[in-house]
Structure 1
Amino acid sequence: MTILVTGGTGYLGGAVVRALRRRGDRVRVLARKTSRTDELARLGVEIATGDILDRTSVEQALDGCDVLYHAAAVYEYWTPDRALQKRITVEGTRNVLAAAQAKGVRRVIYTSTSYTIGEARGQTGTEETHHRGYFIGVYDEAKYHAEQVAREFAWQGLPVVILNPSGIFGPGPLKPVGKMMLDTVTGRQPMLLRGSVSHVYIDDVVQGHLLAAEKARPGERYIVSAYNVDAADFMRETCRLAGVRPPPVGPLFIGRIVANVQELVARRTRRPPDLPREVVALLAHGMRVDGSKAERELGLRYTSLEEAIVRTLAYYWEQGWLKQKPACLQDGTEAGSELYAGRR
């Protein structure tokens, strides 16, 4: 059996690929010509050159595949080309699922996000929550419409399972939550902001993907999320385990001002701001979801928050990103993710 992974050169998709290869599966990754695939090739992964915006290349990549993990998307809260972000996320998903339908793929795991749940302010979102009817930013809007595409294909009979992970952090390339953690413990984040957030550890999301292919019911969605916390408290706990003084907590209106200024600069430099306006908007609205369905139906077990942060800090230390060894590792413990063991 060959498994195709889209987004396999990215953060989550790459972690799924490593887990599949550790298990001994035959894995093929759809990657653009410009993508770096050297590490995947060393893992014995077959590379199919193509693009999710090119349906023909997706169909060719699916030749002989029984299972598809569609994890390709733009996981950023700011990009210089928002229209392209929407096109990749929505139309790319339509192309991939249409190709899977044409090829008769046995199981499709589509990676959405918990931001599509759309819970109202102060509500805890579940898989059955009715969307509030408005969006916080471009990221959740694009992912919402892409998930609707996945549901349409499920109604047509394609065996699609939808996973909705919350804000992912852990070892690997720096994405929004992980970058904020690193910036905070290294003193590059001058202030913390309060607001309810939902997070999950990368290894748990990967395990959720593997379990979904085996146990999930087609047409169902599963929230993968472990920690409902205050954003400032989450960063303060990260600082405690790192052994550094946390930044002060500031008001959201200051965060809005900073984000507006940074995005004005970003439009000129085309370099992402440290604090996108979309992040401040998410904190102002708040986010809280329930990931227990994945525990009940898939058998997923979540890592404790402290262990997840310790493993993340261990990885940052191993990469040379921290000036001092985290306090939680002073006893010699090296607790990085198994999926990244030995990587530098």
Structure 2
Amino acid sequence: MIYVTGGTGMLGAHLLYRLTKSGYQVRALKRETSNLNQIKKIFSYYSSEEEAEQLLAKIEWADGDLLDRDSIKLHLKGVNFIIHAAAMVSFSRRDRNAMLHNNVEGTANLVDLARESGISRFCHVSSTSALGNPPEGVPASEEHVWNNSRKRTAYGKSKFLSEMEVWRGMNEGMEVLIVNPGVIIGPGNWDTGSPQLFKTIWNGFQFYTEGGTGFVDVLDVSEAIVSMIDQPQWEIVRNQRYVLVARNVKFREFFNLVADDLGKKRPTIPVGDWLLAIAWRLALVVSWFSSSRPAITRDSVNGSNQMSDYDGSHITRMIPFQYRTIEESVGRVAKIFLNEHR
């Protein structure tokens, strides 16, 4: 029995699909108010309606909150393995304290309860934002240790501190695995996260920045995790972390790929640091008067004109695994988007 947190998110839904498809028993955490329609839609991308319903029926849903230890403790009865993919993601300064508390405290609670319940195996989904900054010209890898600086986002700090809770669990006798995906390309809710990039380009977005980062397919991330938790692979990968990045891509190149596959005009207007600085300040002022969240923030545009390179090759040297190309990933997601918007 595998217990999965974050199952209602894009990556979590793909994990649930891969796990049920592979024959695992799955218990998944959700809130009482969670809408499962998005998960049903994601399952339907990869199977017939009948098969999707059959796979969904295999999931045992458990209502609760990671900050409520009593509710989570009840969920862990009979569980052998935990995949922790839940996290609050925000680049708004007003969410900083809540995000640090939710992500770190939630992970600490889950580690503690796993130990109390006798669950010794734990996979934690982190992020490349929790990695350290390497020397100039060197891609960031598993070996680069976090360094706290003003340029670090609160989200990155929350993921780093969450990792520390997982390593604590390892030092207390658990077997753990941490994966650090880059920007995950996949279909899902087109109004949030990385799927929103496709909708933004579809709506005629014409701006780009000169920076870039590491990208990876959601199918690669889910398949990598499910492959690594399998017993023979687990003995090889346990108590390590793995950066999951297929390729480092400039934002302009990525936007061009999306635009081409959607049949839209490529972005042509470069946005420099000075314009970004003006933009997030204006968005902040607007939010003050409208009592809404700013459309962009300092954290969300930080480093947009810098190239952040990552080395995701460690996994390919440890187990049989090969990334999909970014072109293939964008093409597949664009096709799904077009099927829903034409």
Identify the TM-score tier after normalising by the shorter chain.
0.7 to 0.9
Residues of 2 paired with 1:25 and 1:287: CA distance? Answer: 36
Between 196-205 and 285-294, the greater mean CA deviation after superposition: 285-294
Q: Is the 8 A contact 2:38 2:188 kept in 1?
A: no
Which position in structure 2 is the counterpart of 1:339?
A: none
Structure 1 position 125 matched with structure 2 position 145: no
Residue 6 of structure 1 corresponds to which residue in structure 2? 5
Structure 1 residue corresponding to 2:208, chosen from 192, 195, 198: 192
1:243-266 CA-partner distances (Å, limit 9, x unpaired):
222222221221221122223334
Q: Is the 8 A contact 1:28 1:47 kept in 2?
A: yes
Once residues 30 and 265 of structure 1 are traced to their aligned partners in structure 2, the CA distance between those partners, rounded to angstroms, is 37
Contact 1:163 1:223 in 2 (8 A): yes
- Counterpart CA distance in 2 for 1:25 and 1:259 is 45
Give the whole-Å Cα distance in 2 for the aligned partners of 1:23 and 1:59.
26
Instruction: Note if contact 2:215-2:326 (Cα within 8 Å) is conserved in structure 1.
Output: no
Map of 1:27 onto structure 2: 26
Assess if the C-alpha contact under 8 Å between 2:245 and 2:312 holds in 1: yes
Cα pair distance change 1:122/1:269, threshold 3 Å: farther
| Alignment pair present for 1:259 and 2:280 | yes
Output the CA distance in 1 between the equivalents of 2:5 and 2:242.
20
Contact 1:79 1:272 in 2 (8 A): no
Q: Percent identity, aligned pairs only? A: 27
Give, in whole Å, the separation in 2 of the partners of 1:15 and 1:285.
30
- Which residue in the other structure is 2:264 paired with? 244
Please give the TM-score of this superposition, normalised by the length of structure 2.
0.86
Q: Determine whether 1:147 maps to 2:163.
A: yes
How many residues are treated as equivalent by the alignment?
Answer: 319
**Residues 22-171 of structure 1: pairs in structure 2 closer than 5 A:** 22-37=21-36, 43-44=56-57, 45-78=59-92, 80-120=94-134, 122-134=137-149, 135-171=151-187
Cα-to-partner distance string for 1:137-174 (whole Å, 9 max, x where unaligned): 11111111111111111121111100100111211124
Cα distance between partner residues in 2 of 1:212 and 1:50: 27
User: Could you say if the C-alpha distance between residues 133 and 291 of structure 1 is closer, same or farther in structure 2, counting changes exceeding 3 Å?
Assistant: same
CA change 1:177–1:274 in 2 (3 A) is: farther
- Cα RMSD over matched residues? 2.1
1:304-319 → structure 2 map (5 Å cutoff): 304-319=325-340
**Higher mean displacement: 211-220 or 8-17:** 211-220
Equivalent position amino acid for 1:314 in 2: K
Question: Deviations along 1:88-110, whole A, 9 cap, x unmatched?
Answer: 11000000111111112142110
Other-structure match for 1:221: 241
**Contact 1:207–1:300 (CA<8 Å) still a contact in 2?**
no
Measured at CA, do residues 228 and 213 of structure 1 come closer, stay the same or move farther in structure 2, by a change above 3 Å? same
**Letter in structure 1 aligned against 2:71:** S
Larger CA deviation: 273-282 vs 214-223: 273-282
TM-score by length of 1: 0.86
Deviation at 1:122, TM superposition (A): 4.3
3-state DSSP of counterpart to 1:4: strand
